[in-house]
Amino acid sequence: MRRLLHVGAVAATTAALLPALAAFSPAQAPAADPGQADNRPDPLVVEEITPTSVGRNSTVEITGEVTNTTERAVEDVTVRFRYSTTGVADRSELDAYAAGEGVQPESVGADTEIEGGLEPGESAEFTLRVEAADLDLSEFGVYPMVVEAVNGAGADMGAKRTFLPYRGGSAPDPVGIAWVWPLMDCPQRADDDTYLGGSLTESLAPEGRLGRLLTAGAQNDDVSLDPAEPGESAEPTESAEPSASASPSPGGGADDEESGGAGSGGSADSPAVPVTWAVDPGLLDDIDRLTSPYQVMADDGAATAPADMEASAAAEVWLDQARAALADDAVIATPYASADLAALLRHDLDSDAETAIALGYDTVERVLGLPAEPALAVPADGMLNTPTRELYQRMGATGFLLREAAMPAASWVGHTPSAAAPLDLGEGEEGTALVADSGLTEVLDADTSDPGDAALAQQRFAAETAMIAAERPGTDRTVVAYPPADWNPGAGFAQGVLEATDTLPWLEPVDLNDVRPEGGAAGQDRTGPEYPRSASRAELSGSYLDEVKDIRGNIRLFNSILVDEEDPFRPAVLRLESVAWRERDDLSETAVDRVADAVRTDMEKVRIIPSEPVTLASATGTIGVLIANDLEDHTVRVNLSLLSANPERLAIGNYQDPIQDPIEIGPGDRTTVYVRLTARVNGRTMIQMNLHNISGEPIAEEQFLSVNATGMGTQALVISGAGALVLVAALTPRALRKWRRGRETAAAAEPPEGTEGTESAEDAEGAVSEGTGTAQQDTSAGDGGAAPGESPAPMQENEEEPPSTRPGGPDTAPPSGGKGGTGDSPAGG
């Protein structure tokens, strides 16, 4: 209770003070929404630094924007840049400064004041300009620099660390740089027709990731993804326009006397920087499939049916432009879908590993119409173990594009080693390892999506390459710039680094195919090759590949019925074996389930069509078994087996020779197999029907057919015939006796001449006896001749029961004038 009173008092005091506080603080901004804190703009954005490298006669110009992100107005805002007059000693010191460590630069290069101050949320542009000669930089090197904004009280509003490369003094010889330009992505499909999401189409647009990479790497304004109006050429995309950071600045920069060097002209007539395209054939196949109607699964992987999509015009345009852009450049290929070769070889999936490499080369040529370089392998993540290397060797590779962790610099080396190093291939053979520089990879992988990030990243790229050149002046070295597989550079950055490669005087662009180990000491400053434990732990797990193996088993069974040894699900399996699933368990399980369902669905399309129960109205008959092949693209070859549940009752005749005469059915066709049945006993019998491959393995669930035999079977006819013979044999003597008595009676009954028309009592009695004997015979004959299953003809109304059906008959009646027989008397025989 006391606590509640205290809280109430605090609330009342606060309510009373609020009006006074509002009056005391004029222009008080409303409180910021805590939920919008992460959406506040960057207080300081550096949009451009020119020139990228500073010469003795250059004019340094820095432009950008400052924003008041506080809730109060600020006065006397000053933007300035400070720099150090001492350059960084090596690349490790450069990295430390970029990470926020090391001393702060103290020399002020230039400053400017924002007139009128800034209200909350207000922004203002700024320009800093200074002559390079006034910076007192004396020698070639990289100098730390910071651009910052402070208020009138000297408090920091925002700061950006960057570098100022200076090319004055004694410049080193250029360092060769070879570019590897990645066109890669994670697998986009599960089965061949179903995409896991809709992001690929967006990525192919002019401003999409793959769209920007293609147009920037092409370095050709004619390569454009913008849709052209009829009769008009496509306008250049934004990424194809020259980067402002590479343009000459007023009063100095690229046109001063020290801007020379390899490729420093920067004119429209300058040759393009050599680029080797590293492509994932699985991605090319995914894009190519978009050019026809396809299906897309829900983004959350829900069990809803995939949505039907029309063919993608963006995919068609991208492929057309890619064929033009890559036609004159070198192309190297990863395994299909970047399959995890190391994991496949470790888990006895060697055939999949070989297929991934071979299918990769075939897919590049099929989709792009040009071959990939088979001599240069691109292992997953740039890591190489011995089994993977030996597999690549068997497939024709002698060179390997690696990351630095696979062949790091030796511990005693204090400089950046050359990219090319000899690689022992065993049995006296020697190949080449081309090792990408990890520092450049990190710089290129920087986030350049926000405003101003591209300018700072480009300065960092220039600084890194300048430090490499300054490490060992006078030596010939080449570095490989190889961005990550999922590289997603911001607008203008990808184009900017290529232009910087052409204009920076300490860089000499070279073709990757020309990078070779030189000299007897080549490669001695590197260790390895190594396959660290972290690399083996990162491979696809055995439990995951066991799931893939289960699917492969069903695929093998499906393939066994296809003609021409087709393997339509092999690309889908390789997509499941991609290195992309190492860290994406949720989506990989969705892909596994989808492929398993697709295999099962296609297997079920080769089937026996169920039929209605069959009635066999005679001892033998023929039925037709209808087999369907609902696959649209494949001819199948199968065998049919039929098994009677009771062969003694229902026998199945010969209908197919599974070895000499398998059943072949074309795409979308059906065929009927005619089977002769023989019923030995009437009744219902089940027939089990199965489809098999030519090896006898069942390929579908069994079907059952009910056959009801209602006609006389063979055994029944034999039994009935034997019974009839016994009956005839037993009744013949009796019938003969009756026939003789009848003849004698008839003869005795003939009247003498002249007595016609008279009849004695004895004649009347004989007539009665004769009539009674004829009714029994007829009756016996009628009973014995009834058809099986039929009832004797019913008696007419009021008809007297025949004597033979009564208790006792003519043969059992007592003689005339005697007593009647007792109930124990036997029936007449």
pLDDT tens for each residue of 375-389 = 999 999 999 999 999
Backbone angles phi, psi at 469, to 5 degrees: -65, -35
Element (H, E) at 227: none
pLDDT of the residue at 207: 94
Give the single-character DSSP code of 794. Answer: P
Query: Is residue 759 scored above 80 in pLDDT?
Result: no
Beta bridge partners, 344, equal none
Cβ within 8 Å of residue 439, ≥6 positions away: 91, 95, 416, 464
Tell me the per-residue pLDDT of 206-251, one tens digit each, with 9 for 90 and over: 999 999 999 999 999 999 998 765 445 444 333 333 333 333 333 3
Tell me the per-residue pLDDT of 588-628, one tens digit each, with 9 for 90 and over: 999 999 999 999 999 999 999 998 999 988 889 999 999 99
Of 753 and 5, which is predicted with more confidence?
Answer: 753
Q: What is the share, in percent, of the chain residues with pLDDT greater than 90?
A: 66
- CB 681 within 8 Å of CB 715: yes
- CB 677 within 8 Å of CB 707: yes
**Which homologous superfamily is 606-711 in?**
Immunoglobulins (2.60.40.10)
Q: Assign 536 to helix, strand or coil.
A: helix
Distance in angstroms (rounded) separating the CA atoms of residues 376 and 382: 12
Domain regions of the chain by residue span: 40-171, 176-229+267-527, 542-603, 606-711
pLDDT band at 565; cut points 50, 70, 90: confident
* Strand residue runs (E) in 68-174: 77-83, 107-114, 123-131, 141-150, 156-166
The residue with tokens 């370095």 is: 219
pLDDT of the residue at 716: 54
Average pLDDT over every residue of 682-688:
93
- CB 217 within 8 Å of CB 519: no
pLDDT of the residue at 732: 73
Average pLDDT over every residue of 692-715:
85
Tell me the per-residue pLDDT of 473-527, one tens digit each, with 9 for 90 and over: 888 899 999 999 999 998 789 999 999 999 999 999 999 999 999 877 788 899 9
pLDDT of the residue at 408: 95
pLDDT band at 305; cut points 50, 70, 90: confident
Angle (nearest 5°) at CA 111 between 109 and 117:
165
- CB 663 within 8 Å of CB 638: yes
Tell me the per-residue pLDDT of 177-191, one tens digit each, with 9 for 90 and over: 999 999 999 999 999
Distance in angstroms (rounded) separating the CA atoms of residues 691 and 202: 45
pLDDT of the residue at 38: 52
Is there a shared CATH topology between the 40-171 domain and the 606-711 domain? yes
The residue with tokens 């009832």 is: 791
Tell me the per-residue pLDDT of 378-435, one tens digit each, with 9 for 90 and over: 999 999 999 999 999 999 999 999 999 999 999 999 999 999 999 999 888 999 999 9
Angle (nearest 5°) at CA 530 between 529 and 533:
170
Residue 189: alpha-carbon gap to chain centroid: 3
pLDDT band at 821; cut points 50, 70, 90: very low
Rg of the chain (C-alpha set): 49
Q: How far is CA 757 from CA 407, 660, 745, 752, 764, in A?
A: 141, 87, 17, 11, 13
Average pLDDT over every residue of 137-158:
93
pLDDT of the residue at 803: 38
Nearest to 167 by CA among 461, 439, 470: 470
Tell me the per-residue pLDDT of 568-588, one tens digit each, with 9 for 90 and over: 999 999 999 999 999 877 889
Of 818 and 166, which is predicted with more confidence?
Answer: 166
pLDDT of the residue at 717: 55
Of 827 and 315, which is predicted with more confidence?
Answer: 315
- Strand 614-616 with 703-709, pairing: parallel
pLDDT of the residue at 102: 84
pTM, to two decimals: 0.77
Cβ within 8 Å of residue 545, ≥6 positions away: 343, 344, 347, 349, 577
Cβ within 8 Å of residue 641, ≥6 positions away: 658, 689, 690, 691, 692
Look at the alpha carbons of 94, 100, 106, 107 in this order and tell me if their dihedral is positive or negative: positive
Fold of 176-229+267-527: 7-stranded beta/alpha barrel (3.20.110)
Q: Average model confidence (pLDDT) for the chain? A: 82
Other beta carbons less than 10 A from residue 279's beta carbon: 24
Instruction: Copy the structure tokens of residue 577.
Output: 């074996």
What's the maximum distance between 2 C-alpha atoms anywhere in the chain? 177
The residue with tokens 């029309």 is: 310
pLDDT of the residue at 825: 36
Angle (nearest 5°) at CA 429 between 425 and 434:
55
Fold of 40-171: Immunoglobulin-like (2.60.40)
pLDDT band at 356; cut points 50, 70, 90: very high
Query: Is residue 651 scored above 50 in pLDDT?
Result: yes
